[in-house]
Chains A and B, each alone.
Chain A
Amino acid sequence: MTTAERLYRMLLRLYPASFRSEYAADLEQALRDRSAEHRHAGSVGRVRLAWFVAGDLLRSLPSAHMQSRRALRAAAGRGGGPSGFGVWAADARYAVRGFVRRPGFFVAAVLTLALGVGASTTMFSVVDGVVLRPLPYPDPDRLVVVGVRTGGEQRLFPSTPPDFFDMRGATRSLEHVAASRLQSLTLLGDGDPLSVTGAGVSPSYFDVVGVRPMSGLAFTEADDSRGAEPVAVLSWGLWQRRFGGDRSIVGRMLEFDGRRFTVVGVMPRRFHPPEAIYHGDVEVWFPLSLVSDDLDQRESGFLQSIGRLAPGVTVMAATSELERISATIAIEHPESEGRVWSIEPLRERTIGDVGTTLAILLGAVGFVLLIACANVANLFLVRATERSREMALRTALGAKRSVLVRLLVIESIVLSVVAAAVAAVLAYGGVAAFRATNPGDLPRLAEIAVDVRVLVFALVVSLATGLVFGLVPALGAGRTGQAHVLREGAAHLSASRAMSRLRSGLIVGQTAVALVLLAGAGLLIHSFVRLHQVDPGFQADGAVWMQVRIGGDEYPSPEARHAFFATVLSRIGSLPGVEAVGGSENMPMGANSSVTSVSPEGLVPGPQEQPPVVEFNRATEGFFEALRTPVLRGRTFSASDDRGGEPVAVVNQALATQFWPDRDALGQRLKLGEPASESPWMRVVGVVGDLRQRGLGEASDPQLYIPWRQAPRTGVAFVVRSRNEPGSLLRAMKEQVWAVDPTLPIERYGTLESHVAGSIVEPRFYTLLLSTFAGLALVLAFIGLYGTIAYAVEQRTREIGVRVALGARPGDVVWLMIGRGMLLTGIGLAIGGVVTLASTQVLSSFVFGITPRDPATLALTALTLAAAALLACWLPARRASRLDPAHTLRTD
Chain B
Amino acid sequence: MARRRKADEALPLTPVVFHTLIALASGPAHGYAIAQEVERETGGRLRMGPGTLYGSLQRMRDEELIEESANPGEDGVHSERRRYYRLTRWGAAVLRAETGRLRRAVELADGRMGA
Contacts and interface: CB of A to CB of B under 8 A. Distances in A.
Contact of A53 (B35, B49, B57): B49
Nearest to B48: A56
A534 interface: no
Contact of A67 (B50, B59, B78): B59
A57 B49 contact: yes
A63 interface: yes
Given A26-B31, A29-B78, A30-B35, 18 more contacts: A15-B51, A26-B50, A26-B82, A29-B31, A30-B32, A30-B53, A33-B32, A34-B50, A52-B47, A52-B49, A53-B50, A55-B49, A56-B51, A59-B51, A60-B54, A63-B59, A64-B58, A67-B58
Nearest to A37: B36
A27 B59 contact: no
Contact of B52 (A26, A31, A59): A59
A23 interface: yes
B52 A29 contact: no
Interface in A17-67: 19, 22-23, 25-31, 33-34, 52-53, 55-57, 59-61, 63-64, 67
Contacts of A490: none
Interface string B24-67: 00000001100100000000000111111111011100100000
Interface of B: 31-32, 35, 47-55, 57-59, 62, 78, 81-83
A860 interface: no
**Which of B31, B48, B51, B62 counts the most A-chain CB atoms under 10 A from its CB?**
B51
Given A67-B59, A67-B62, A71-B62, A56 B82 contact: no
A15 B54 CA distance: 11
Nearest to B59: A67
13 contacts: A29-B32, A29-B78, A30-B49, A52-B47, A52-B49, A55-B49, A56-B48, A56-B49, A56-B50, A60-B51, A60-B55, A63-B55, A67-B58
**Which of A19, A30, A33 counts the most B-chain CB atoms under 10 A from its CB?**
A30
Contact of B83 (A26, A31, A34, A53): A26
B34 to A, nearest CB: 10
Contacts of B58: 19, 22-23, 64, 67
Nearest to A28: B50
B23 to A, nearest CB: 15
Nearest to B47: A52
Contacts of A55: 49
B83 A27 contact: no
Contacts of B62: 67, 71
Interface in A43-101: 52-53, 55-57, 59-61, 63-64, 67, 71
A56 B52 CA distance: 6
A457 to B, nearest CB: 36
Interface in A343-396: none
Contacts of A15: 51
B71 to A, nearest CB: 14
Contacts of B31: 26, 29-30
**Which of B31, B35, B47, B50 counts the most A-chain CB atoms under 10 A from its CB?**
B50
A55 B59 CA distance: 20
Contacts of A30: 31-32, 35, 49-50, 53-54
A36 to B, nearest CB: 10
B32 A27 contact: no
Contacts of A31: 50
A33 B48 CA distance: 13
Contacts of A52: 47, 49
Given A55-B49, A71-B62, A29 B81 contact: yes
Contacts of B78: 29
Q: List 3 A-B pairs, minimum CB-CB distance, nearest first.
A: A56-B49, A60-B51, A30-B50
A71 B55 CA distance: 13
A61 B78 CA distance: 27
A762 to B, nearest CB: 59
Nearest to A18: B58
Contact of A27 (B47, B51, B81, B82): B51
A21 B58 CA distance: 12
